[in-house]
Amino acid sequence: MDVLAYWDGPLGDLAFRRGWTHGIPALFVWPFLLTGLMLLLDRLVRAWRPSLEVPHAREILRLSAIAIVSHPILDTLNTYGVRWLMPFDGRWFYGDTLFIVDPWMSLVLALGVGLSRGGRDRAARLGLAAASAYVLVMVGLALAGRLVASAELMAMGGGPVQQLLVAPVLADPFTRRVVARQADGYRTATFHWLRRPHIDPASVRRFPAPSAEDPALLAAARTIPGRRFLGWARFPMVQAEGDVVHIVDLRYRERAGPGFAVVSVPLPATPR
């Protein structure tokens, strides 16, 4: 359903995605809608294949509920986040635990499904148990990583850590990407669990963090794309270039340019 937001003008996807459709109130509605669609589809299919087994509505509803509710829970485990309280509150909730498409979790679950063919449901149960254990380990690493990264960043200077992301990376559970906001601006770095210090000093980079009164930021926020992007961005960095303001989310990239996690907002010319 979130795909429909792409037709809502500039950055409509960021303004709508993982919001209304993922909020707690919607989760009470979606299972019944999905069950109704499945039963309707079944009726249409059995109109020309009447020999098919009649489905049990209660079982379809149970499976729909599991699928619908587990979706935003898993979404919350990555760095993109979910707005659980929509439409009443637009706050984002982040798990920072799993890479958005975690290959190890996908592999374990796929093996469980593949090996369970022919009624061998024990393989599916083992796959689900292994995936759950993996998630719990990654949650522990995420929580511990925040504590360690915060302490090491403060030891490097720059003041207390005001905002922190210790993000998973693709296929390597022992390495994470750090983004932090401190009094002197943003810092990004690479975090290694198997090294000491865990934050690689050679990887540390500094970026300016905008103030709430930044004229370029305020001007961009008065536009629809700027307002929508800032409502989604977690570590916004502002780069002014003539009459264009670039806003980059350091969560995913470090410089302006075409692609994801950046918006370029042309500002109206100042009258002379």
Give the start-to-end residue ranges of the domains of the chain.
1-77, 215-266
Q: Does the pLDDT value for residue 20 go beyond 80?
A: yes
What local confidence, expressed as pLDDT, does residue 270 receive?
A: 52
Give the tens place of pLDDT for each residue, 85-114.
999 999 999 999 999 999 999 999 999 999
pLDDT score of 269? 61
In tens, the pLDDT along 154-173 reads 999 989 999 999 999 999 99
Is the model's pLDDT at 271 over the cut of 50? Answer: no
Instruction: Please tell me the predicted confidence (pLDDT) of residue 272.
Output: 47
Average pLDDT (194-209) is 97
DSSP string for 79-139? SS-B-TTTTT----B----S-TT-HHHHHHHHHHHHHTTTT-HHHHHHHHHHHHHHHHHHH
Check residue 134 and give its pLDDT: 97
What is the average pLDDT across 207-225? 93
Output the pTM of the full model: 0.90
Tokens of 209: 């963090």
Q: Which residues contact 23 (CB under 8 A, 6 or more apart)?
A: 83, 84, 85, 86, 87, 88
